[in-house]
Chains A and B, each alone.
Chain A
Amino acid sequence: MVRRRFWQGTLAGVAGTALVLGTYSTLLAAVAKVHRQAGQQTITFIAAAYSTKTQPFWEHEVKVFEAQNPGIHINLEVVSWNNIAQKVTTLIATHQEPDVLNINTWTPYANSGLLLNLNTILPASFRNGFVPAFLRSAQSHGATMALPFVSSVRSLYYNKTYFTKAHIKSPPRTWPELVADAKAIQKAEPNVWGLGMTGMHLEPAYFSYFLWGAGGNWNNAKNRWTFDSRQGIKALTFMNDLVNKYKVTEPNPVAYNRDELEQLFASGKLGMMFTASFFPTILKQEGPNIKWGVGPIPVAPGVKPTTLGVADYLMAFKTTKHPKAVAQWLKFVFSNGPYHTFLNNEGLLPTNKAQSVAMSKESPFFKTVISQLPTAKFQPFYIPTYVQVWEDVSSYLQEVFLGNMTPAVALKQAYQEAVRIP
């Protein structure tokens, strides 16, 4: 009996010791692994997932690049748009910055002094290959903090079948024409809404279309907020009129985001909507039978039309140990083969001159939208608090759509919140 207990005790002791030592040795192994990797030319690349084609694309290109550049290893991670900002924030807070990052904004990282000035690793000849309007959107005081990676422009997309039925000859160019055409479509097709409208969060562009269309701006040259100006009120009043007075939109825009509007358009429930130049790529899959046309975003009479441009960026972090490898990788990404495949896969527009010329020849649609790129107007993402400001603005937009506030009061309150943000 005693003997057995002795054995049991010994066994338990051995098992316990093994467990404890195991814990420590796992920790040691992890530390050792980090050290080993530091000896290689490994660069981490975090990319946003634009579609299901993104991950396979990068995996393939990484293999090609590694074969061409022995000694450089790319540690690839493709992250969904929903999580990427949070992921990067966490990585930075824990000092694990990636070497190269693909995301929709570079300003918060540059403002925190985390980004590498790409003038130091990329020659002027390479930088000058970009469309100037886009390159400027990635520069701060002459320093190139990021590279404009891909772009899109926003336009009015319309259902050609409904236009024919409603006897509309050409897409509307002014607000009164927009209202008239939307009404005509609803008259010809009672189960269709004339214009799609979104009041949901995360879609700041919708207010921008009308704000710029009224001749207003988010901010002035001194970066003070001006969206509550006379033009801002005019814009929001018109948006609200479309919903609640003319009733030419789906009845409750607050419940729809842009993706859902695109679904409605693809299923033939919308006559017109504003969306991005990658929409035809989506429509090819979601609504192959829809005949669509594209036109400029309508403006108030007398206002010069503008195109809303959106760009995503590639940036390198200062903490990188292998700036040369980073430069190699960036040049490779923009080389004709991979870059063209990526743009084609995702339906996005180029930011460099070479692909702009090449793709303009591929289809009349590309020719139209690419020709708009040099004059594209950007939302003020360079103001760090812009994201929060438009979240506030969209909350107040919802109050207006729901009939709880007048446009003037809503914008005044949104302004007060905007200036309160530290």
Chain B
Amino acid sequence: MAVRSHTRLAARLMPLFWLLPALTLVAGLIYYPIAQLFVLGLSNIDMAGQIVGFSGLANLVNTLSDPVFPQALRNTVVWTVSVVAVTTLLSVPIAVLYHQDFPGRRLFRAILVLPWAASLMISGLIWRWIFDANYGDFNLLLEAAHVITHGMAWLGTPVSAFMAVIWVGVFVSVPFTTFVLLAGLQAIPSTLYEAASIDGASSWQSFWRVTIPNLRQSFVISTILNVIYVFNSFPIIWVMTRGDPANSTQILVTYLYEAGFQFGQLGEAAVIAILSFFILLTFGILFVRAVRSEVAA
């Protein structure tokens, strides 16, 4: 009897033993850093990065009273919404096009992957040169077309700089979004289109009544993932403008990096990270709920 219960206990503990390395990894790499983030946010940290005491909500108060913070928050919203919206709008026709059977389709699909495959740092750097005031290709192109007479510093004025970084954000997000939508398109059964055409639907009607509704799941996935990626995207803006001019392209991540690693204020950087985390979490929950309730209705 005793032997039996002993083996049963061992059998019950066995899975835990097998899972231990994975659990350790997850705890060490995900939960521990998050916990540490909260510790940092509540601590007084000196310029060399050492915790010298508990500071309560001082970091939060400091962050919220910095005039750059609301600006960065506003910019983050504009940046995320613009990039994700424009990306999605551009990706639908591209995905539909790539879903057609045309000669060289595989080649074109491969080409579309390229901006996605290149590192964001490299893309940002190349676009920075393209928008350069003196040697940039963008200026050369516009001059050749007689749109402008002399080079413009596109990254030097607030509005044009923001539009430039948004464009690059779109450029690198389109491939992923297109492939998600393409996968969605391929999952739509052809019988639906046959049924629609028998009912006399035009191709335009079948696009709006069959394609778009059936892409709902793909839209949900691409929107959620894109919002998370774009919201947290650091390299493009850092490489192209560093938040300049006059903080007009400063978003929360670049602001966080500046606070943490240029000003040595790790406590405030941690607070910004926590706030970003909650903003994304709230968005995720609300978005999924909205989508679900729509399905239910």
- B205 lies within 8 A of chain A by Cβ: no
Q: How far is the CA of A19 from the CA of B260 in the complex (A)?
A: 38
Q: Which residue of B lies closest to A269 (CB)?
A: B134
* Given A89-B264, A254-B156, A399-B246; A20-B49 close (CB under 8 Å): no
A387 contacts B263, C-beta separation under 8 Å: yes
Q: How large is the interface on B (under 10, 10 to 19, 20 to 34, 35 or more residues)?
A: 35 or more
* Given A20-B21, A92-B48, A417-B67; A199-B263 close (CB under 8 Å): no
A20 contacts B244, C-beta separation under 8 Å: no
Q: Which residue of B lies closest to A388 (CB)?
A: B263
A252 contacts B46, C-beta separation under 8 Å: no
A252 contacts B247, C-beta separation under 8 Å: no
Q: How far is the CA of A152 from the CA of B58 in the complex (A)?
A: 39
Interface string of A372-397 (1 = CB under 8 A from B): 00000000000011011001000110
A108 contacts B46, C-beta separation under 8 Å: yes
A112 contacts B50, C-beta separation under 8 Å: yes
Q: Which residue of A lies closest to B24 (CB)?
A: A23
B46 contacts A89, C-beta separation under 8 Å: no
- B78 lies within 8 A of chain A by Cβ: no
Q: Which residue of B lies closest to A20 (CB)?
A: B21
Within the complex, which residue of B20, B65, B67, B245 is in contact with A20, where a contact is CB–CB below 8 Å?
B20
Number of interface residues of A (CB under 8 A): 44
B47 contacts A111, C-beta separation under 8 Å: yes
Interface string of B36-70 (1 = CB under 8 A from A): 00000000001111101000001000100111100
- B133 lies within 8 A of chain A by Cβ: yes
* Given A93-B49, A254-B244; A20-B58 close (CB under 8 Å): no
Within the complex, which residue of B67, B153, B154, B261 is in contact with A85, where a contact is CB–CB below 8 Å?
B261
Closest 5 CB pairs of A and B: A255-B156, A108-B47, A252-B153, A252-B156, A255-B153
Jot down 27 A-B pairs with beta carbons below 8 A, ordered by A.
Answer: A20-B20, A20-B21, A85-B261, A85-B262, A89-B48, A90-B49, A92-B50, A93-B266, A108-B47, A111-B48, A112-B50, A200-B242, A250-B133, A254-B245, A255-B154, A264-B134, A385-B263, A387-B264, A388-B263, A395-B68, A395-B246, A396-B246, A398-B244, A402-B158, A402-B246, A417-B67, A422-B58
Residues in A lying within 8 Å of B, measured CB to CB: 16, 19-20, 23-24, 85-86, 89-90, 92-93, 108-109, 111-112, 114, 199-202, 250-256, 264, 269, 384-385, 387-388, 391, 395-396, 398-399, 401-402, 404, 417, 420, 422
